[in-house]
Amino acid sequence: VVAHRVTIADVAREAGVSQQTVSRALNNKGEISAGTRQHVLEIVGRLDYRPSTLARGLATRHTTTIGLVVPDIANPFFSELARGAEDAAQAASHSIVFCNTVEDPERELSILRTLEDQRVDGVVLCSSRLPREGLLLAASRHPALVLVNRAAPGSGLRSVAVDDEAGAVAAVRHLVRSGRRAIGFLAGPPASSSGERRRLGYLAAMAEYALEPDPALAAPCAPTLEGGREAALALLRARPDVDGLFCYNDLAAVGALQACTALGLSVPGQVAVVGCDDILLAGLVTPALSTLRSDQRLLGRKAVEALLDGNNGCGDGADTIWIRPELVVRASAP
Amino acid sequence: VVAHRVTIADVAREAGVSQQTVSRALNNKGEISAGTRQHVLEIVGRLDYRPSTLARGLATRHTTTIGLVVPDIANPFFSELARGAEDAAQAASHSIVFCNTVEDPERELSILRTLEDQRVDGVVLCSSRLPREGLLLAASRHPALVLVNRAAPGSGLRSVAVDDEAGAVAAVRHLVRSGRRAIGFLAGPPASSSGERRRLGYLAAMAEYALEPDPALAAPCAPTLEGGREAALALLRARPDVDGLFCYNDLAAVGALQACTALGLSVPGQVAVVGCDDILLAGLVTPALSTLRSDQRLLGRKAVEALLDGNNGCGDGADTIWIRPELVVRASAP
DNA sequence: CTGTTAGCGCATTCAA
DNA sequence: TTGAATGCGCTAACAG
């Protein structure tokens, strides 16, 4: 059982002042003489008084709590992001309650409602699966909301996202500059919006160098080792001239490495390979994988900062913060 | 800006009953006639009324919120655990606020205080770095608290932990049964308590088969690839008769594989290697790594369930739930 | 079965 | 500069 909790009334009595004065001393608001302030704070310290967040929240109508909604905290992308978010939150003396949508839109909605009930001061909503309407409605019910890796153009909603397009451009440029001309693209799952942005970057970079935009060079794939291997096998067989591969993620890229081995193609001699994400494995395979590293921790930090800095949602439209991935050059595409 | 929130008073007025009746209808407490209950709930639905968690918490003295304190949510072990914890919490209609201690005991204390201020109903505290005294004090200030991977014998504190000792026993038995006799142990960081439990298991299994308990067979190592490689190199050079290795974690085990390669030793021909954790990499290296998999998600779920099921802390001593790791047999130690 | 009264612990009016 | 009353939105305890 928990011991009796000392309340503001106890402090007031002990200090011989009113509750209000204690409140003022604590919150540094309203005028108060330095003397009584000192005195009150001393009593506060002696009694080890700590205000109840609940009571304060009820009175002030804002908790210092923010909601973090992710598809799955066990996914390294989001756990890294969560770390960054909590760092930023803790720096601003805020707490984070997190929830997993497990990719279920209904669940996502119910989570957003629950967060309302808790009167969180804001929500960081990652990879929302909600249709635009539902998203805007849910957002309107919160004092503040920042989207991650999902834009809602024209809604005024702020968002933070990995600049997959710029990343893809950098990767493809790197391949071209190292002499590659027939560059294939393992595009990932068809429904992936980040995959779509990478495709745009891929096409833009190809166009930049007036290289053939042959649709046959791009193939969807499951975001797994096997998916990458199969897709790469098919692609390399159909187009033996391919000398460079840009892949949806590192797992697929490692699969592509296996495909090259299976086909007797040397990497990077005959085919150069670039992945995405810079997972641990990327640096450990042979040859080590060149890849795009995006700083998810930074992403989380920025999201929370945007939420808290909040010129609250009165945005003038284009308020997306883009996090540029960094190209990590290793042996697979020097 | 957020729209006006409908309160219990609005519902009461609209339904033509008292607030108390609304409260009863909602909470299914106190006697209430099925008729008025229906009626009230209808109004609740029509007005889309949702009770404020804050106000309710203030009145009832319990929030449906639990704190999750981890060293670092970005560590896959803890993000997986967090997933399990949130699953269980959500199933019980509870919310989770999480905090990272970043391995700092002072921070850990301050986090526990903050969670007090928030009046969480309980805390899941992972890998606490607090000295026993401080831990017990902090625990006494919370309505409920469950330890993860850290015991406080004789305190009555409940805990949930990976049974590293049993895991190590299983791993070493497996090696012995496949014919190994001189089994080395890469012990991990000296200060690690899980490392210590693994050492106990290692020694117990060796003793079981009356095998030499030579201290020279056990070597500390950094829990990294490099750490494992260096330690394994030294160990294998000093003891060329070693034909089996049990390693603190998978990274160290992969390092050990590299060491074997460097020394021209075949795996598993001359040396069999077993790791711990079953990280993604384990299945991808060549030869694929045999390893111990502990179900962290289950760990998190059990912790929350123990917290909520709570015969609250009036434990009779030995209330530790052990999660047994599972041996995953792959090529490195068939 | 239902309503009334009185807090939960704080901050926000107002006066003084 | 300080204090007294009032309310945040809900439930507990007691009535009736």
For the stretch A173-217, pLDDT in tens is: 999 999 999 999 999 988 888 899 999 999 999 999 999 878 999
Distance of residue B87 Cα from the nearest chain A Cα, in angstroms:
8
Tell me the average pLDDT across A226-246: 96
Distance of residue B281 Cα from the nearest chain A Cα, in angstroms:
6
Q: Give the pLDDT score at A212.
A: 81
**How would residue A280 be classed by pLDDT, with cut points 50, 70 and 90?**
confident
For B6, name the nearest residue in chain A, comparing CA atoms only. Answer: A117
The residue type at B6 = V
Is strand C less than 7 A from the beta carbon of B52?
Answer: no
Asked if residue A138 has pLDDT above 60, the reply is: yes
Q: Give the pLDDT score at A76.
A: 87
Interface of B with A in 204-243 (CB under 8 A): 225
Q: Give the pLDDT score at A313.
A: 45
Residue-wise pLDDT tens digits, B289-313: 999 999 999 999 999 999 998 754 4
8 A C-beta contact, residue A161 and residue A304: no
Average pLDDT, chain A: 93
Q: Give the pLDDT score at A311.
A: 58
C-beta neighbour count of A264 within 10 angstroms: 7
Distance of residue B75 Cα from the nearest chain A Cα, in angstroms:
8
* Residue A60, nucleotide of least CA–C1' distance: C11
Q: Give the pLDDT score at B310.
A: 73
Q: Give the pLDDT score at B102.
A: 94
Half-sphere exposure of residue B65: CA atoms within 13 angstroms, side-chain side = 31
Measure the CA–CA gap between B259 and B216, rounded to whole angstroms.
18
Tell me the average pLDDT across A256-268: 96
**Alpha-helical regions (H) of chain B:** 8-15, 19-27, 34-47, 53-60, 76-91, 105-117, 132-140, 164-177, 193-208, 225-238, 250-263, 296-309
Asked if residue A279 has pLDDT above 90, the reply is: no
Q: How far is CA A220 from the centre of its chain?
A: 24
**How would residue B184 be classed by pLDDT, with cut points 50, 70 and 90?**
very high
Residue-wise pLDDT tens digits, A73-123: 998 899 999 999 999 999 999 999 999 999 899 999 999 999 999 999 999
Q: Is A52 on the interface with B (CB under 8 A)?
A: yes
Q: Is B98 on the interface with A (CB under 8 A)?
A: yes
**How would residue B157 be classed by pLDDT, with cut points 50, 70 and 90?**
very high
% of chain B residues with pLDDT over 70: 97
Asked if residue B314 has pLDDT above 50, the reply is: no
What are φ and ψ of residue A76, in 5° steps?
-55, -35
* Residue A56, nucleotide of least CA–C1' distance: C10
Residue-wise pLDDT tens digits, A2-22: 667 899 999 999 999 999 999
Tell me the average pLDDT across B139-166: 94
Tell me the average pLDDT across B88-99: 98
Q: Which two tokens stand for residue B24?
A: 């009863």
- Using DSSP's 3-state secondary structure scheme, residue B96 falls into strand
Asked if residue B322 has pLDDT above 80, the reply is: yes
Asked if residue B216 has pLDDT above 70, the reply is: yes
Residue-wise pLDDT tens digits, B105-150: 999 999 999 999 999 999 999 999 899 999 999 999 999 999 999 9
Average pLDDT, chain B: 93
Tell me the average pLDDT across B211-221: 90
Asked if residue B3 has pLDDT above 90, the reply is: no
Quote the pTM value.
0.90
Tell me the average pLDDT across A294-318: 80
C-alpha closest to that of A139 among A313, A258, A302, A13: A313
Q: How far apart are the first and last CA of chain A?
A: 63
Q: Which residues of A touch B99 (CB under 8 A)?
A: 86, 90, 95-96
